[in-house]
Amino acid sequence: MLNPTTSAPGTITINFATKTIFLEKEGAVESVETVELVKPGQLLAFLNPADDTKSPTPEQQKPQAKHVVLTPGNHTQLSARGDSLLAIVAGYPQITKTTNANEETLTISITPLVTISPDQMEANLTLYPPLPKTNPLTVEELAELLKQAGIRHGMNEEILRDCLEQSRTEQHIITEALIASGSLPINGLDAQLRFEVEIGSIPGKIMGDGKIDFHERRMFIAVRKGQLLATKVPATIGTPGATVTGQPLPQKQGADLTVNVVDNASYNEESGEVHATKPGILSVVKNTIKVCSKLAIQGDINFKTGNIEAHDAVDIGGSVQPGFKVKAHGDLKISGGVRSANIISQGNILIQEGVSGKQTIVQATGDVDVPFVEQASITAGGTIIIRKQAYYSRIFAGGDIHCQEGSKVMGGILMAGGNLSVGQVGSDNASPALIAAGTDGKQYLRYEALHQEIIDKEDELEHCLQLHGHDSRLPFHLAMTEELEEMHKDLNKLDLATDKKADTAEELAYQLRSRVIIVHGQIFAGTMLRIGNVTKLLETTVNSVKFTLSQDLREIIEHSL
């Protein structure tokens, strides 16, 4: 290992040129210190030992010579013999000299010609004016030096030419000029269905300006036999990026999708086309396309009609009365309301006058769109739209839950597998609500049920202990304690976060960080928030806020809208 310094009596010879340039600008004279551009491996300075072989005459005798110390600074190093200093990078050498009674220290550092940012996505140039009576650098020579410094991608020769011209004509030092930029990878586009028939807007879709589409869904789209309904647009590969040093940055390929067809629809994998095999009504749920017949009922569902179970899309002109059940294979539209009834659809559900009643259950494979929900349960595989109010209800969506900005949520549970946006949450008198994003509703129901089992089991154990005593050796005590321990372990293992199918831990973390709860109005203290597996009890009432997970995914943090 080389010594960091070399020291001996003698002198130091500098092996690079410096020059002060005087410029007249606007009647004043300015000076610029310029210096020779050195290259890697170039000799910068060397130590000349004192010649002790000759005896000086009395007239030549001088005070004892000081020791001179040659020290490497940034981007320089000593030679193998330790008597010379060499450049490690291309750049401009700078001398720092310090002295004391018996020693003189000379340190040489180099200001690099090019610096590369820590993420290797930018390269910046420092360029001194050329020395007088020397040939200035050409663009080709400068480009070659940059390549030797490791720049392999994104170099802009036009900027290099401008920098060289500016330093030569204006005679000033150019610093931190951006001369190369890396390119970020462009991820591939996911495969998608391009519909060849007008299906209208999808309520809950995020539009280009970030607002949410609350238009009413277009229902019961009639199609004819042989009609082209949709075409699968394949996923794209994307384009890799690269750092300025040429290090490749892999892109993420677009995800494929599986096209499902039901009933009177057919899919050709080779062409990617979906056609209707018979005339009927089109229903779309995510990537599932079905064509079925339509059953129209003019009035209410009551004792006159009885329960409805149809292998069709169903259009109900009235309301569903208490105690009745409607089950549709396709989309379901109810022009009236639903009270204390059971509604199931393998498509999408639109209820125009709201849902109420503790006994009411609404289940959809696709989306659900309602003006209000009061003390009812709604479960959807897709998006749930609530236009006015959710009052002490249990609402679970596999996708997003979107409430219009003027809506109110009072008590109950709103739990979205995706994102959640609401108007006002709570009031001074309402019981606190639980609102959640990025949370698996099915897993939460399992959590809730297991938690209740534990409470019941603990009550049972306490009752037995009161009857038979607190002897821990009793068989029932041992058995019930072991059972409770297992139940607690199972409870702690439950993962309530969605997006568990992410390819990597980094991708899962990114998806969880993207989950958001948006409150456009006021949200009252006492509201319980959940994103994934993280919960937060809101301690103060706030307005117009957004909640997300922290970078470490350990807490929910609050931002102003």
> How confident is the model at residue 541, as a pLDDT?
94
Helix (H, G, I), strand (E, B) or coil at 385: strand
- Does any domain span residue 67? yes
The pLDDT tens digits for 87-103 are: 999 999 999 988 887 78
- pLDDT tens across 419-431, in order? 999 999 999 888 9
Residue 299 in domain: no
Q: Looking at the domain assignment, is residue 313 inside a domain?
A: no
What distance in Å separates the CA atoms of residue 381 and residue 400, rounded to the nearest whole number? 10
**Could you say which of 244, 260, 285 is where a domain stops?**
285
Q: Does some domain include residue 21?
A: yes
163 and 215 fall within a common domain: no
Helices 139-148 & 157-170 angle (0-180, nearest 10): 120
φ, ψ of residue 441 in degrees (nearest 5)? -60, -40
Q: CATH number, domain at 559? A: 2.160.20.70
Which of 491, 524, 550 is the C-terminal boundary of a domain? 491
Looking at residues 535-541, what average pLDDT do you find? 93
Degrees to nearest 5, angle at CA 478 with 472 and 483: 135
Residues 463, 506: one domain?
A: no
Q: How far lies 337's CA from each of 107, 369, 375, in Å? A: 86, 12, 14
Q: Check: CB of residue 403 under 8 Å from CB of residue 424.
A: no
Are 36 and 98 contained in the same domain? yes
The residue segments making up the domain with residue 418 are 383-440+495-561
| Residue 83 clears pLDDT 60, i.e. is over it | yes
Reduced to 3 states (helix: H, G, I; strand: E, B; else coil), residue 216 is coil
What was the pLDDT predicted at 60?
Answer: 43
Of 507, 491, 502, the residue nearest 450 (C-alpha): 491
Give the separation between CA 532 and CA 53, rounded to whole angstroms: 83
The neighbouring-strand residues paired with 223 are 280
| pLDDT value at 128 more than 80 | yes
pLDDT of residue 561: 86
In this structure, the answer to whether residues 116 and 263 fall within a common structural domain is no
Q: What is the mean pLDDT of residues 23-43?
A: 79
Higher pLDDT, 475 or 66: 475
How many structural domains is the chain composed of? 4
Note whether 480 and 412 are same-domain residues. Answer: no
pLDDT (0 to 100) of residue 3: 45
Q: Is the pLDDT of residue 65 over 70?
A: no
Could you give the CA distance from residue 541 to residue 76 in angstroms, rounded to a whole number?
61
Does 424 lie in the same domain as 455? no
Q: Is the pLDDT of residue 61 over 50?
A: no
Q: Give the dihedral sign, CA 358/360/365/370.
A: negative
Cα 426 to its chain centre, rounded Å, is 30
SS3 per-residue string spanning 152-195: CCCECHHHHHHHHHHHHHHCCCEEEEEEEECECCEECCCCEEEE
pLDDT 10s digits, 186-200: 999 999 999 999 887
Q: Is residue 221 domain-shared with residue 101, that is, in the same domain?
A: no
Specify the pLDDT at position 23: 64
pLDDT of residue 500 exceeding 80, the answer is no
Highest mean pLDDT of the ranges 17-26, 76-85, 331-340: 331-340
Task: Report CA-CA distances (Å) from 175 to 16, 92, 179.
Answer: 21, 12, 11
Same domain membership, residue 101 and residue 199: no
Q: Bigger pLDDT: 273 or 484? A: 273
Q: Burial of 368 by CB count in 10 Å (0-12 exposed, 13-18 middle, 19+ buried)?
A: buried
Q: Determine phi and psi for 482, rounding to 5 degrees.
A: -65, -40
Q: Is 209's pLDDT higher than 90?
A: no
480 and 504 inside one domain = no
How high does pLDDT run on average in the chain?
A: 87
Is pLDDT of 306 > 80? yes
Are 259 and 392 found together in one domain? no
pLDDT at 502: 56
Residue 298 lies inside a defined structural domain of this protein: no
335 belongs to a structural domain: no
pLDDT of 150 strictly over 90: yes
Residues in the chain: 561
Of the three residues 181, 206, 232, the one that is the final residue of a domain is 181
- The answer to whether residue 305 sits within a structural domain is no
C-alpha distances in Å from residue 314, one per residue of 132, 297, 344, 385, 520 = 89, 8, 11, 20, 35
**291, part of any domain:** no
Percent of the chain, pLDDT > 70? 91
Cα distance between residue 450 and residue 274, in whole Å: 44
pLDDT at 2: 38
Give yes or no: residues 165 and 195 share one domain.
Answer: no
The answer to whether 221 touches 282, Cβ cutoff 8 Å, is yes
Band (pLDDT 50/70/90 cuts) for residue 494 is confident
At 152-185, the pLDDT tens digits run 999 988 999 999 998 888 888 888 899 999 999 9
For residues 204 and 94, state if they share a domain.
no
Identify the sign of the CA torsion 501, 506, 511, 516. Answer: positive
